[in-house]
Structure 1
Amino acid sequence: MAYSQPFPRAQPQQTEKVTYGPDLSVRLICPECRDLNPNIREEFGSGDLVCGNCGLVLGDRIVDTRSEWRTFANDEGDDPSRVGAAIDPLDGMENLDTLISFKDGGSGVARELQRAAARSVNGRSERNLMLAYRQISSWCDQFSLPKTISDIAKQLYKRSDEEKLLRGKTQEAVIAACMFIACRQAHVPRTFKEICSLTRVQKKTLGQCYKALEQAFNLGAPNGHMHDNGSGGIPGTGAEDLLVRYCNHLDLPPNFQPICADIIKAARELGIGDGRSPVSIAGGAIYFTCYLLGRDKTAKEVSTVAGVSEGTIKLVYKQYLFAKEKLVKREWIKSGKADIKRLPTDSSGLS
C-alpha cells in the first residue's frame, strides 16, 4: 500500500567524519641552506627551533615536552629529583608540619615560636589528626607493619573522626581498632591479643570500637564467614592465615606450611576443634605436624610463638591424634614425608 504511511520519517543523513592529522607530505627545511635533509634542532634552553648547519632560527617558543627533572644539590652531578610531591590522599598534613626545638639558650624564643606554630594549625581537630597520624606510624614501625597498613589505618581514622563515629572513646582505642581492621584488609593478620599488647588498650574496649567501625563501614568478613576470636583470634581470619608467620618464627622449612594447612582444612571438615580460636588451632596443628614430619619443636616453643598455653597446644594435638588416620594423606606416607609412628600416643611422650 503506497498510502499506508503518507509521511514516512526521514532517514538521518550520514555525513563523512572528517579526521584531522599532520600532513606528512610537508617537510620543514631551512630557507638559507635549502637542504632536502635538514639538520633541524630544538634548543629547549632558549625555546627556539634552529638549523644545525647555518644557525638560522626557524621558530621560537618551543614547548619542552621532556621530563621535569631539576637538581638542587650543591655537589656536581645529576640529581634526578622530581619536581613536586605526589598527591597525598591524607592531605599531606603529616609532611608539612614544623617542629620547633626547645634549645634556645634560655631566651624564650622557642616557646614563642611553638605558640605561633600551634596557632597556625587550622583548628584543634587537625592537630589531633596529626597526632593520631604520628601515633599510627610509630606503632606500625614497632610492629614491623608495612606502609600500606599505616595508610589504610590513617584513612579509617580520618573518616571515623570526620563522621564522629566513636564519641567518648579514647584516641588510642580508635587507633588500635583502625590498625586491626587495616591488618585484616591488607591480609596481614594480627590477633586481638597482639594489638592490645602493643597499644595497651583493653580487649573489651578494642572490640567495641571494632564493632562500631565494622557496622559503620560495612566491613564484613571475607567469604561471608566469621571465625570465633576466642582468646585472640581475629574475625575473618582463619588458622591457615597465621601459619606463615608462626612457621617463620619457628624456623620451619617452606614445605612444612602446605602440609599443616591441609591438616587444618581436613580437621575443619571433620568438625575437629570446633569452638576453638584460630590461634589455638594453628598452634596445635603445627605441634602435630612437627611430630608427623620429624621436626624437633617442643610445646613450649610453639606456645610462645602462638601466645597460648602449653596445655591448649597439647589438647588440640590429642584431638588431631584421635583422627590421625583421616587427617594424614596416604601419599605423604608413601613418599616418606610423614610417618604416623612418630606421633606419641600418651602424654609422657609429649615434649
Structure 2
Amino acid sequence: MAVNYPFSIMYPKPFPLASPPKPQQTAFAPDLSVRLICLDCRDPNPTIIEEFGAGDLVCAGCGLVLGDRVVDTRSEWRTFANDEGDDPSRVGAASDPLMEGMEQLDTIIGFKDGGTGIARELQRAATRSQNSRSERNLLSAFRDISSWCDQFSLPKTISDIAKQLYKRADEEKLLRGKPLDAVIAACIFIACRQAHVPRTFREICNLTHVSKKVLGQCYKALEQAFNLTPGSSAARAGATGVAGPEDLLVRYCNHLDLPPHVQAICKDIIVAAREHGIADGRSPVSIAGGAIYFACLLLGVPKAVKDISMVAGVSEGTIKLVYRLYYADRQKLVKDEWIKEGKVNMDRLPVETAK
C-alpha cells in the first residue's frame, strides 16, 4: 500500500536559504610600524649577529644576548673525510618521486658489536623489514630502464617517462605473464614517441634483444590500455606520435656524415613523394634510406648503398626499390629552382640502377 509522506520529510529543504554574507576580513599583513631595537643600547638600526655555535642572537653594539636556542637554517654539510676540502655528502640521496610510498632510506647494520650478538639480531630484523618482492622487482626494472637508455644515448626525460609507464602498467597488472625485458622495451619505445625522439622497432629490438613479435604484443596492450593511439597522442603532444621518415633523416644523415644541405633536399623529396603518392605503403625506414640514396646521387655526394643500408637497418635491395620508384617520377620530386640554381643535376642519376 502506498504511503503518502509529508513534503517536509521527503524534501526537508527543497530550496535552502542562501547563507548570510560573511563579514569582510582584512588580509593578514605585517605591522610595518614595529621596529626591532636593542633593549640596552637603544640603537634604532641595530646589527644583529647570529652565533650558530652557541645558538644565540647577539647585538653587535653592546653584546646583549637578545635570544637563545636559535635554529640553524644553514646547510647540513658534515665532513668526516681525511682529505683536504669539504665533503659535499648529506644525509642521503634525493628522494625519487617514482618511488613514492616506498621506503627509500636503506640502513646497513654493522658486524662489530663486541661479541654481544646484538648486531646479528638487528640484521635479522632488518632483513624481515626489507622491501616487498614487488618493490624489489620495480627497483630492478628501473635499473634496467636506466641502463638501456644510457646504452642507447637517450636523454633522462625518456628514462623517466618509461619508468612512469612501467609503474602504471605494473600497478594495473596489464602485462602479467609477459617477459620483463619485453615490457621494458615497449615502455622505452612508447617513451621515445612521447618525447618526440622516435626509434624504430628494429632499433629497440637490437638494443633489448627482444623479438619483434613479443615487443609488438606488449606495445599493443599498452597502447589500448592507456589510449596511446597516434590520434590521441597528437592531441596531447601536438605531434603525430608516429615515427615518420623525416624524423629518422637527422640521425641517419649524422651517422653518414652528410652535409646539412643533403638533409634538407631529402626532406623536400620525401614530402613531395607523399603528396604525389609515391612509395606509399613502404616503411618509414625504407623511405628514409631510399630518399638519402636518391638525394646523394642527385647532388653528386658519394655514398655507397651498403653504408646507407647499415645505418638504416634495411637491405640494399629495399633501398634500390624505393630509388626505382623515385626515379620513375623524378620530374615530380625535383624542383625547378634546384636545377636553375645548379644544386642538382638530373644526369647524375644512374639509369642502370633504376632497371
- Whether TM-score is above 0.5 comes out as yes
Q: Distance in 2 between matches of 1:217 and 1:197?
A: 26
Work out whether 1:216 is the aligned partner of 2:225. yes
Q: Distance in 1 between matches of 2:103 and 2:215?
A: 25
Unaligned ranges ≥5, structure 1: 1-8, 100-112, 226-233
State the 1:255 CA deviation. Answer: 3.0
CA contact (8 A) 1:222 1:236 kept: no
Residue of structure 1 aligned with 2:62, choices 54, 59, 62: 54
Indicate how the Cα distance of structure 1 residues 199 and 248 shifts in structure 2: closer, same or farther if over 3 A, else same: same
Q: Distance in 1 between matches of 2:187 and 2:64?
A: 65
Residue of structure 1 aligned with 2:96, choices 74, 83, 88: 88
Q: How does 1:162-201 map to 2 (within 5 A)?
A: 162-201=171-210
Q: Distance in 2 between matches of 1:180 and 1:169?
A: 16
Partner of 1:294: 300
Question: 3-state SS of the aligned residue for 2:98?
Answer: coil
Question: 3-state SS of the aligned residue for 2:260?
Answer: coil
State the 1:124 CA deviation. Answer: 2.7
Partner of 2:134: 125
CA contact (8 A) 1:291 1:343 kept: yes
Partner of 1:27: 35
Partner of 1:311: 317
CA contact (8 A) 2:233 2:241 kept: no
Indicate how the Cα distance of structure 1 residues 163 and 64 shifts in structure 2: closer, same or farther if over 3 A, else same: same
Q: Distance in 2 between matches of 1:83 and 1:224?
A: 41
CA contact (8 A) 2:49 2:59 kept: yes
CA contact (8 A) 2:194 2:233 kept: no
Counterpart AA for 2:78: T
Question: 3-state SS of the aligned residue for 1:236?
Answer: coil
Counterpart AA for 2:247: D
Please give the per-residue CA displacement for 1:21-59, whole angstroms capped at 9, x wherever unaligned: 333333322233233443233334444332112111223
Question: 3-state SS of the aligned residue for 1:58?
Answer: strand
Q: Distance in 2 between matches of 1:115 and 1:171?
A: 30
Indicate how the Cα distance of structure 1 residues 95 and 287 shifts in structure 2: closer, same or farther if over 3 A, else same: farther
Work out whether 1:335 is the aligned partner of 2:341. yes
Partner of 1:70: 77
CA contact (8 A) 1:184 1:237 kept: yes
Residue of structure 2 aligned with 1:252, choices 258, 267, 278: 258
Q: Distance in 2 between matches of 1:114 and 1:144?
A: 40
Please give the per-residue CA displacement for 1:146-173, whole angstroms capped at 9, x wherever unaligned: 2222222222222222211122222222
CA contact (8 A) 1:69 1:81 kept: no
Work out whether 1:274 is the aligned partner of 2:280. yes
Q: Which moved more, 1:86-95 or 1:212-221?
A: 86-95
Partner of 2:3: none
Partner of 1:109: none
Please give the per-residue CA displacement for 1:198-230, whole angstroms capped at 9, x wherever unaligned: 2222211111111011001111115778xxxxx
Indicate how the Cα distance of structure 1 residues 340 and 114 shifts in structure 2: closer, same or farther if over 3 A, else same: farther
Indicate how the Cα distance of structure 1 residues 123 and 246 shifts in structure 2: closer, same or farther if over 3 A, else same: same
Count residues in correspondence: 319
Question: 3-state SS of the aligned residue for 2:99?
Answer: coil
| TM-score, normalised relative to structure 1 | 0.78
| TM-score, normalised relative to structure 2 | 0.77
Please give the per-residue CA displacement for 1:216-250, whole angstroms capped at 9, x wherever unaligned: 1111115778xxxxxxxx98111111111111110
Q: Which moved more, 1:87-96 or 1:195-204?
A: 87-96
Question: 3-state SS of the aligned residue for 2:67?
Answer: strand
Q: Distance in 1 between matches of 2:279 and 2:326?
A: 8
CA contact (8 A) 1:94 1:134 kept: no
CA contact (8 A) 1:69 1:80 kept: no
Q: Distance in 1 between matches of 2:289 and 2:21?
A: 76
Q: Distance in 1 between matches of 2:88 and 2:313?
A: 48
Question: 3-state SS of the aligned residue for 1:42?
Answer: strand
Q: Distance in 2 between matches of 1:15 and 1:124?
A: 57
